[in-house]
Amino acid sequence: MQMLKERIRKDGKIMAGNVLKVDSFLNHQMDTDLFLELGKEFRRRFADVEINKILTIEASGIGIACVVAQSFHVPVVFAKKTKTKNIAGDVYTSTVESYTHGRVYDIIVSREFLGKGDKVLLIDDFLANGKALEGLAALVEESGAELAGAGIVIEKGFQVGGNLIRSRGIRLESLAIVESMDEKTGTIVFRGDEA
Amino acid sequence: MQMLKERIRKDGKIMAGNVLKVDSFLNHQMDTDLFLELGKEFRRRFADVEINKILTIEASGIGIACVVAQSFHVPVVFAKKTKTKNIAGDVYTSTVESYTHGRVYDIIVSREFLGKGDKVLLIDDFLANGKALEGLAALVEESGAELAGAGIVIEKGFQVGGNLIRSRGIRLESLAIVESMDEKTGTIVFRGDEA
């Protein structure tokens, strides 16, 4: 998606350790007018699939998923990272290893909000090693719902997540795939744009 | 807001310990078409105030804030509850005591995304004892930005938060204020609806 790639080139910052900082518009400060355009693009790419629920994971997936949902007119459910007082024991659960936070945590979704008959689109901001997406897919599987696909804003094409998810037969649409990035020159090469 | 009160009466569940569970449409599964209506109502109520940024707190505030932002056409920033690798040391910070989670945590916002010249509307799903809102207001004050007001979806009128925030001179608009609720009968009385 050209508009997104241009925004990443303009406002993204390449940091040490292959970190791409896009927190000025994607996952700390959020440009919701941009999110609306991302939603339209996901709708276009998944036009041939029936979807009646969007599943994401807290925290940075939630804003994108909620705006994207306005192009699908379906409810959003977000997987929670910790068990709160407000949730009864009746949950699906899965374990995720976080690259960003360097720790392992459980994600949960109440059984009330996911189950047979649901056709689920996973939405998240980043795909790197694929652990969060795998965890969400496991929740969908456990619930008996159908996994329609996964929509990612930025995929780090040089990490294993994309191949992992695609090799599992999950339909994956990433709006921008970073093939490589160079901290010193500040250049980003996107998949499809290579010379 | 009548539509919201009806939805709370229809889908809300009153639990032990004055817990109002609205996770089927507000803060676990999220009805983003409803959120769009909430956004229009906040826009109407804050029509006389200049707002150029919305600030919320993870996790359940994010979805609402991002959809509400579409009625204001301003960026959303969310305060994070833990320090991640992706954020440099240059942050505003405040401490919040969570009623739901029964613990104390720090919230942070990058200095890049809040500062002088910003006219900030705080958005959150619940107002109970007011600790989260106080924490957000403290971040705004620390940053030198101007606090335009706070928009809350559900205020628990029988807890201290509302009075606390109003007594500090913060303009507070709550779309539904629960005056009392009865776990046994399942009845909810909203402020303004008393006999």
Put simply, whether A82 touches B (Cβ < 8 Å) is yes
Asked if B101 and B87 touch (Cβ cutoff 8 Å), the reply is no
pLDDT at res. B195 = 56
Percent of chain B at pLDDT exceeding 70 = 94
In whole angstroms, what is the distance from residue B65 CA to residue B69 CA?
6
Residue B5 has pLDDT above 70, yes or no: yes
In whole angstroms, what is the distance from residue B57 CA to residue B100 CA?
14
Asked if A105 and A134 touch (Cβ cutoff 8 Å), the reply is no
Task: Supply φ then ψ for residue B164, to 5 degrees.
Answer: -60, -50
- Tell me how far CA of residue A159 lies from CA of A132, A170, A171, B91, in angstroms: 14, 17, 18, 29
Lowest-pLDDT range of A10-24, A160-174, B71-85, B142-156: B71-85
**CA nearest B18 in A: which residue?**
A86
Asked if A135 and A94 touch (Cβ cutoff 8 Å), the reply is yes
pLDDT at res. B87 = 52
Instruction: Measure the CA angle with vertex B102, ends A99 and A94; round to 5°.
Output: 35
In whole angstroms, what is the distance from residue B79 CA to residue B57 CA?
5
In whole angstroms, what is the distance from residue B182 CA to residue B158 CA?
12
Please name the amino acid found at residue B159. Q
Interface with chain B: mutation pick from A27, A57, A64, A85, highest number of B CBs within 10 Å: A85
Three-state SS for chain A is CHHHHHHHHHHCEEECCCEEECCCCCCCEECHHHHHHHHHHHHHHCCCCCCCEEEEECCHHHHHHHHHHHHHCCCEEEEECCCCCCCCCCEEEEEEEECCCCEEEEEEEEHHHCCCCCEEEEEEEEECCCHHHHHHHHHHHHHCCEEEEEEEEEEECCCCHHHHHHHCCCCEEEEEEEEEECCCCCCEEECCCCC
Contact B19 A86 (CB under 8 A): yes
In whole angstroms, what is the distance from residue B195 CA to residue B193 CA?
6
Contact A73 B33 (CB under 8 A): yes
pTM of the shown model = 0.95
**CA nearest A34 in B: which residue?**
B75
What mean pLDDT is predicted for residues B168-192?
A: 96
In whole angstroms, what is the distance from residue B125 CA to residue B140 CA?
19
pLDDT at res. B57 = 97
Where residue B100 falls among pLDDT bands split at 50, 70, 90? low
Put simply, whether A93 touches B (Cβ < 8 Å) is no
User: How many whole angstroms from its chain centre is CA A130?
Assistant: 9
pLDDT at res. B21 = 96
Please name the amino acid found at residue A185. T
In whole angstroms, what is the distance from residue B147 CA to residue B165 CA?
12
Question: How distant is the Cα of A195 from the closest Cα of chain B, in angstroms?
Answer: 31
Which stretches of B49-102 are assigned E, i.e. beta strand? 53-57, 76-79, 91-98
Which residues of chain B are within 8 Å of residue A90 when distances are taken between CB atoms?
none
Task: Supply φ then ψ for residue A145, to 5 degrees.
Answer: -75, 170
pLDDT at res. A102 = 74
- Tell me how far CA of residue B123 lies from CA of A70, B106, B149, B174, in angstroms: 19, 18, 9, 10
Averaged over successive runs of 10 residues, the pLDDT of chain A (195 residues) comes to 97 94 97 98 98 97 98 97 63 84 86 97 97 97 98 97 97 98 96 80
Asked if B170 and B192 touch (Cβ cutoff 8 Å), the reply is no
Instruction: Please name which of B91, B60, B58 lies closest in space to residue B77, comparing C-alpha atoms.
Output: B58
- Tell me how far CA of residue A192 lies from CA of A44, A175, A178, A179, in angstroms: 19, 12, 10, 9
Q: Which residue has the tokens 């009385």?
A: B189
3-state DSSP percent of chain B in helix, strand and coil, to 5: 30, 35, 35
In this prediction the ipTM stands at 0.94
Where residue B98 falls among pLDDT bands split at 50, 70, 90? confident
pLDDT at res. A88 = 55
Q: Helix A32-45 to helix A60-72 angle, to the nearest 10 degrees?
A: 60
pLDDT at res. A65 = 98
Task: Supply φ then ψ for residue A53, to 5 degrees.
Answer: -160, 145
**Positive or negative torsion for Cα B93, B48, B129, B154:** negative
pLDDT at res. A31 = 98
Contact A66 B66 (CB under 8 A): yes
pLDDT mean across residues, chain B? 94
